[in-house]
């Protein structure tokens, strides 16, 4: 498994998430992922990104971008983007939904870089 943390941003929104690429590190993990329905090979399994909101232990977790329910716009767009771009993004990167959807011309920067008021 490969895990990274991201800052999902949207209109007035900051959501810290943990993304895990389901890339097995051996036969046992490959078998368990296959048994759970993530394909039979490590190649097919590594196409899945498990995305979890990290909210002090109570965040939702999904591997399908369309399973986010009431948070469909933000989480679906971010999850879909992470599924396509996971290998190209560094842990800690900002995933700006408005920029991804073409609503803004410039991507947001991390709130950690914004001075506190």
Give per-residue pLDDT as tens, 23-81: 888 899 889 989 988 888 888 888 889 999 998 877 788 888 888 887 688 999 999 99
Both structure tokens of 74: 């933000």
What does pTM read for this prediction?
Answer: 0.86
Tally of helices (H runs) and strands (E runs) in the chain? 4, 5
- pLDDT at residue 109, rounded to an integer: 86
Residue 2, classified by CB atoms within 10 Å of its CB into exposed (0-12), middle (13-18) or buried (19+), is middle
Q: Is the pLDDT of residue 100 over 90?
A: yes
């Amino acid at each position: 498994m490969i895990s990274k943390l991201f800052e999902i941003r949207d209109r007035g929104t900051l959501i810290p998430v943990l993304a895990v690429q389901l890339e097995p590190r051996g036969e046992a993990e490959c078998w368990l992922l296959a048994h759970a329905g993530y394909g039979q090979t490590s190649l097919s399994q590594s196409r899945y990104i498990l995305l979890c909101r990290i909210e002090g232990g109570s965040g939702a977790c999904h591997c399908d971008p369309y399973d986010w329910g009431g948070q469909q716009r933000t989480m679906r767009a971010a999850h879909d983007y992470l599924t396509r771009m996971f290998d190209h993004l560094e842990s800690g990167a900002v995933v700006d939904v408005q920029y991804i959807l073409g609503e803004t011309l410039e991507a947001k920067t991390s709130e950690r870089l914004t001075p506190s008021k």
